[in-house]
Amino acid sequence: MDTSYRTGRKVGLTLTFVYLYTKVSIVSVAPIRLSSDPAEAAAIAAAVAVPAHVVQHKGHGHAGTAMALAPLAHVLFHRVMRHNPANPRWEARDRFVLSAGHASLLLYMQLYLTGYGLELEDLDASRGLDPRTPGHPEYGHAPGVSMTTGPLGQGVASAVGMALAGLHESAVFASGTGMLDHTIWAVAGDGCLQEGVSAEAASLAGTLGVDNLVVIWDDNRVTIDGRTDEACTEDVRSRYRAYGWRVLEIDDPLDIHHIEDVLGKAAERTGAPTLVPIRSIIGWPSERFSGTPAAHAGGFGDDEVAAVKSKLGFPADAGLDELVTAPALAFGRRARERGARLEADWRAAVNRWAARDACAVAEWTTFRAGRLDEVNGDSNGAGGTVLDSLAVPEPGTSVATRKSNGAVISAMHDASAPRSRLWGGSADLSGSTNVAVAGKRFSRMNPGGEFVAFGVREHAMAAMLNGVALHGPWRPYGSTYLVFSDYMRPAIRLAALMRLPVVYVFTHDSVAVGEDGPTHQPVEQLASLRTVPGLDVVRPADAAEVIAAWRRVYTETKRPTAFILSRQDVPVLPERRCGGGGGQRWVRRLAISRW
């Protein structure tokens, strides 16, 4: 295995700050200095001070977590993560997901310092009208933002999906080479791990041995309404161990050498995902607000922010420009040099891989570039497309649209060249929803599996599909009964906001499934889905319309689509042709609802 391109990232650092903290208070020695390198110390200090300044200046926002986790984020972006700020689309880069999206200034500060293209003015404009730095991270607004987050727990579940997609791509195209290996890093808060969607996804991640995933849990034991033990007293570490995760501790949230050492171990491949609790103090180093719920949102007050600046070695009245000194910015921009070196080493390794196995590299390159696909390319070897090769039942015969849809999905998976980009599974209903495909399921022993058994986890499935789509280039789909789409709504809404090409296969449409009673009769679900801005809702009338819908949907790369399909047989409508030639069927009744 060629891993030479992954070397050279461990750097020893000296801690010069002495601190003592309790659950809700902190006593510090000023000025605070977290590195023996003055430029690095200045970069970390800036990452702490800027969120406090920006939130106080604007009068709203979330500074507490961004301040507390600034040393952690510094180590991740400057020492541990494999990324190149000059090329945010590098295929083999590590991904970073801020599941605790309210701490957006934590991410924006690192994107600015490391040279992703943000400027100080962008940070100052956060939470304004159409900024590059929204109050919660939004996919597509700024390079380096891997997904839209804000609803807690969604980032954790989508990170599981990203990790699955990465393992799958590596297993299919580069098994045993390490060439496509990378790590998905997610930062989550107490609220994220209390949400059910993260628990569903974490359970599956442990079962599947998703060992390219690291979730860093900000264990500050504070939520908006009070301390976490007022509503949650479970042993989270034991819960994750029961899921099959490895747990590594960051005991000191200010010791950057210790943080780097733990995160380096977390990135190792051990057959299990890794949870890394970090016992931070929200609002650090504020004397008044640190460790309290009040640190979550809103400004700390002019006097307290001035005190924080003084502790960090800045003038009490320092403005935004003064908080990021020239040495601090110069140190931050070293990440571009480091990233360029890491990517160059990787590309050299890919060239060596190509010399050993040119066919494998060519297949992967074609797959990534999308020069062929199952709809528009000659992928069935007969001069047509997969969809053209599907036979439409004779008019007057009857077939359930779920069965016609299953035939399309099976045909896509059977396409021989290139490997189908369509990849997904079902929430324990693959037979009923007709999405079962030939092959073996994804597992810890078979990450190249043709489908994913999500289990009875509809919400996590939808969020994980978002992660698969964000990772790319897979075109993800997931299936369940239409009535259970209610479980998936938060993740569906995020897919629409991010304009992701996720496909939802919802079967057992309408009250025609009455034998199971009202709990399984989708009455309001269709109208409800049609109200989601950015979601296409397709309710084909017959088999021909299923195929026609897939032809359009598969080439739509900027919107999610929900297929609404019948359990019962429905008649195939009379064939209609237009133009008098060419034999192209005119699908008259295809109902696609979109905003």
Whether the bond between 31 and the residue before it is cis, its omega within 30 degrees of 0, is yes
User: What is the DSSP secondary-structure string of 372-432?
Assistant: S-TTTS--SSSSS-HHHHSPPPPTT-EE-HHHHHHHHHHHHHH-TTTT-SEEEEESS-HHH
Query: CA 93, CA 96: separation in Å to the nearest integer?
Result: 10
* Cβ density class 356-383: b for 16+ within 10 Å, e for less: eeeebbebbeebeeeeebbbeeebbeee
**503 three-state secondary structure:** strand
361, two tokens: 């590299």
Per the DSSP assignment, residues forming a β-bridge with 185 are 96, 214
Query: CA 140, CA 216: separation in Å to the nearest integer?
Result: 24
Which amino acid would we find at residue 98? L
Q: β-strands 184-189, 213-218: how paired?
A: parallel
Of the CA atoms within 13 Å of residue 575, those in its CB half-sphere come to: 10
Contact of 73 with 106, CB cutoff 8 Å: yes
Contact of 144 with 98, CB cutoff 8 Å: no
Tokens 């709504």 locate to 489
Contact of 90 with 83, CB cutoff 8 Å: yes
SS3 of 212-245: the string is CEEEEEECCCEECCEEHHHCCCCCHHHHHHHHCC
SS3 of 37-71: the string is CHHHHHHHHHHHHHHHHHHHHHCCCCCHHHHHCHH
Backbone phi, psi, residue 381, to 5°: 75, 10
Contact of 296 with 63, CB cutoff 8 Å: no
Check 195, 260, 374, 458 and give the catalytic one: 458
Using alpha carbons, select from 101, 66, 279 the residue that is nearest to residue 192. 101
Task: Indicate if 458 belongs to the active site.
Answer: yes
Q: Which residues are known catalytic residues? A: 458
